Amino acid sequence: MENNVFEQMAKRYDTVERIELAKVIVKEVKSELQNSKSKSLMDYGSGTGLISLELCTLVDSILLVDSSEQMLEVAKAKISHKGITNSKVLFSDFTQETPKLKADIILMSLVLLHIPDTKKILQELFNILNDDGKLIIIDFDKNDQINHPKVHNGFTHDELDKTLTEVGFKSIDIKTFHHGNRIFMNQDASMFIASCIK
């Protein structure tokens, strides 16, 4: 996992392009959060909060978790600046150690591609979810144009469905929702949303 990269880029992470892409993701995630006013949401790999800080009126509470302190510093400044009262941050990397936490909904937006052992992290998140809880994954569809030693070049729906089933999710729905120009390491790419019930 390229933690240092995110530590270094935190203060300049929120570019016009990333904010635009985040708006597309937020719209898609919102449709998954109907009737969630009483639910706790964990945003795993939250970064600067581009996604989850737009969702705070739709849920009861949000915990933004990230393994980069600097990304969380930016998120914390936004929480304070916007006067958001139901959101807090946690500096943690569940691939190293998973704290004893529970959540009704876990969101993972553009994070899975940065974690080498996909099944292990999905298992950790499954364990954190309450019964009938929901995992929402946003990531890139498999893209053979991309080849990077530390980043998955996206995922096929079939391989992800298989891993999620092995982890224990009982209902899994994966669909592509956006095609964009130069959105994945400067290559044209498409993004999917996976909605999984424990």
Ligand X SMILES: C[S@@+](CC[C@H](N)C(=O)[O-])C[C@H]1O[C@@H](n2cnc3c(N)ncnc32)[C@H](O)[C@@H]1O
User: Do the Cβ atoms of 79 and 49 come closer than 8 Å?
Assistant: yes
Residue 68 lies near ligand X (rule: CB under 6 A)? yes
Residue 185 tokens read as 């390491």
Residue 45 lies near ligand X (rule: CB under 6 A)? yes
Residue 135 lies near ligand X (rule: CB under 6 A)? no
Residue 94 tokens read as 């569940």
CB of 49 to ligand X, least distance (A): 8
Tokens 């991309």, residue located: 146
- 21 versus 172: smaller Cβ distance to ligand X: 21
Q: How many Cβ atoms sit within 10 Å of the Cβ of residue 38?
A: 9
* Residues facing 190 on adjacent strands: 179
Using the contact rule CB under 6 A, the part of the chain among 29-37, 45-53, 139-147, 190-198 near ligand X is: 45-53
C-alpha 127/C-alpha 130 separation (Å) is 8
Using the contact rule CB under 6 A, the part of the chain among 28-36, 78-86, 111-119, 127-135 near ligand X is: 111-119
Interface residues with ligand X (CB under 6 A)? 1, 6, 22, 45-47, 50-51, 66-68, 71, 93, 95, 109-111, 114-115
